[in-house]
Amino acid sequence: MNTATRQNKKRRSESWRKILIILGALFLLLAVSGWLGLRMMVAAQDVTRLDRPLPAETILFDENGHEAVTISLNEIEPITFDQIPKTMIDAIIAVEDRRFYEHRGTDIWGIGRALLQNVTSGRTVQGGSTITQQLAKNVFLSHERSWSRKWNEALLAKKIEERYSKDEIITMYLNQIYFGEGAWGIKRAAEVYYGKPVEQLTPAESALLAGLVKAPSVLSPYKRPEQAVERRNVVLSLMRDQGLIEQEAYDLALQESPKLRESKPDRAEAIHFPYYTDQVIREAVNLYGLTENDVLHGGLRIYTTLNPDMQKAAEQLFQEDALFPESMGDQLIQAGTVLVDPRNGGIKALVGGRGKQPFRGFNRAVQLKRQPGSTMKPIAVYTPALENEFKPDSRIIDEPVRFGSYEPNNVDHTFHGNVSLYEALIHSYNIPAVKLLNEIGIDQGMDASSRFGIPLKAEDRTLGLALGGTNTGVSPLQMAEAYGAFANDGIRMDSHAIVRIESADGTVLASRQEEQGNRVTTSENARMMSAMLQGVVESGSGKAAAIEGRDVAGKTGTTQMPGVSGYGAMDNWFVGYTPQLVGAVWLGYDNPDESNYLTSSSYAAAAVFKELMSNALHGQPSIPFPVVKGMNTRKDQNEEDSERKGNKEKNRKKEKEEKKRNKEKEDERHNKERGRDRDDEEDDEDDEDND
């Protein structure tokens, strides 16, 4: 290498060194400026607001941007540090912040240890934020997921630690944290769950309450007692490992069965549209990473797809006992329903139960998992059949059949011979559906179900799928979303209630992206299915769902109650739609048994659907379904039925006339024979006279 080359290389190296130094200096300047800015912002924050813990109201807006719901179930009844049992403080520290009395607001070692423990245990056992950081976040910060917010949280935690003692911080934390079931603060939680003063909590009860903080809805002992006890035992184990509870007390606490308050306070009246609000909270947690505490406590502004008129109509309908079958046994016949716009998936209304329900109680519109019965036929059988070049007028024999040990039967226990696919669907014949699924292949039915958003498992791969035989079951929301694809020309839109979430200061925390939807079948097949399902309502098993002046398509569904004589069902469904709205209705008992099952007709859900949709669509235009050429319409079916009846009548008349003619011939023959006998007798008499 010559001298000139070495000099050029050296100059380039020096140039790069200068550039890197300049960039480093700029980066350092920006970092310091940012840090100073954050420090100034945090320094300006008045942490004495902690002395007056008032959770901010979260507001839900409807589809038109008007305020619809104010979440303000947050009366706080503060207590002093001396009133809180030591076991309660030990439990919350063990599970949320084991080095609480050692750190000064943040705990780097704790973050690393929590990460390691969560990874090795395969689930979230400990969190990384300290109790002080959680307090700072809940009171002062928006709930965006960003490094800047985490940095603010850490700085605020440090400032809180500088002003307040550890005992004051843990007291403020326990006074304002959300424990689920409408219980803000430890005093309210002790009353709601155990009906006792907080001072009387046992170690086991303290551990259960401490375990609720991370996910109060999911771990509620009223809803999921087994999971709540499992979480309690984790907390007790942490307390033992950290030396906060003796082995003997630990063993006794493990053996203690939760003695919950028999009738917890009903908080549903305190909030408008409780079931819809429940779904909004569920989406915020599951789709956007917020916690239940964030929503209930965070002063958020949540924009939704709610139609308040439809929601009011649905809630009022569920209060009309005369519309529902009479309950038997010791349970109330329950129901769940949902209304969805098939064009964008927006949930317009949602009701998850009848009778008094606690806020954040069991929501049958979305949490229910029951077999869908014959409402699965259009999804798992007839749509894939159309995709395999079957037509509505294709023929299939309804006859006794057996597939190994499986022998399907029709509900009416009769066989209908040579029927069209259209006839088999509108009258909900079971045997043709099973035979058809067997012919196209179970995998085709499994694939179609998956496309329509119905989750299936390997064990669902049976011919029983044709009749809704699934192990997991479905919810009304899942069925409404699936049928929405028929109404939307074969495109399934993900159902949703949330459009956008903002903090109180207008910062957008989450926003739903516009979607094109998922095409699950061709528009031709979707329209053909809609035409066939119109027949169900117009002249088939779903006539109870017909709405005068509107095109309605849909399907009935029933699951039989085993071991009962006569009609008995565990579940009764109707899922249907107009071009602009999809509705799903489920009826049944929460715990069906030999004393609690449906004994009325299979049309009960269809009747509820009719009233639901009629009220929801009141004042809205009647939109017809697209005309499908070559489709066996109601008129065609009626003509076919009339022709079949006419032929039967002609055959009966012909047979009658034939019998009449045969009788006349027989009588004539007999008369002739009697005439010949008389002639013979007269001849004999003449012979005697001659003799």
Would residue 374 show up in a list of annotated catalytic residues for this protein?
yes
The tokens of 128 are what? 């990384």
Closest CA to 174 of 16, 334, 50, 30: 50
In the chain, the amino acid numbered 282 is R
Alpha-carbon gap, residue 512 to 341, rounded angstroms:
16
Alpha-carbon gap, residue 215 to 96, rounded angstroms:
12
Alpha carbons within 13 angstroms on the beta-carbon side of residue 584 total 30
Phi–psi pair at 585, nearest 5 degrees:
-130, 130
Residue 555 pairs with which residues in a beta bridge?
575
Alpha-carbon gap, residue 457 to 472, rounded angstroms:
8
Burial call 106-133: b when 16+ CB within 10 Å, e when fewer: bbeebeeebeeeeeeeeeebbbbbbbbb
CA 405 vs CA 108, 410, 463: distances in Å: 62, 17, 11
Alpha-carbon gap, residue 635 to 613, rounded angstroms:
25
Alpha-carbon gap, residue 630 to 637, rounded angstroms:
12
Alpha-carbon gap, residue 136 to 158, rounded angstroms:
10
End-to-end Cα separation, the chain, in angstroms: 167
The tokens of 224 are what? 């999921």
Angle between helices 523-539 and 634-690 (to 10 degrees): 50
CA 227 vs CA 139, 235, 585: distances in Å: 29, 13, 29
Would residue 121 show up in a list of annotated catalytic residues for this protein?
no
Per DSSP, the three-state class of 47 is: helix
Q: Where are the beta strands (DSSP E) in 522-578?
A: 553-560, 569-578
Alpha-carbon gap, residue 637 to 393, rounded angstroms:
10
In the chain, the amino acid numbered 99 is R
Residue with tokens 């049944």, as numbered in its chain: 588
Alpha-carbon gap, residue 434 to 378, rounded angstroms:
12
Closest CA to 368 of 609, 572, 144: 572
Catalytic annotation, pick one of 129, 374, 541, 602: 374
Q: How far is CA 671 from the centre of its chain?
A: 80
Catalytic annotation, pick one of 96, 153, 283, 502: 96
For 653, counting Cβ atoms within 10 Å of its Cβ (0-12 exposed, 13-18 middle, 19+ buried), the class is exposed
Per DSSP, the three-state class of 577 is: strand
Q: For residue 643, how many other CB atoms are within 10 A of its CB?
A: 10
The tokens of 662 are what? 């045969």
CB 186 within 8 A of CB 173: no
CB 309 within 8 A of CB 339: no
CB 536 within 8 A of CB 322: no
Alpha-carbon gap, residue 617 to 315, rounded angstroms:
15
Residue with tokens 């022709």, as numbered in its chain: 643
* Residues tagged active-site: 96, 374
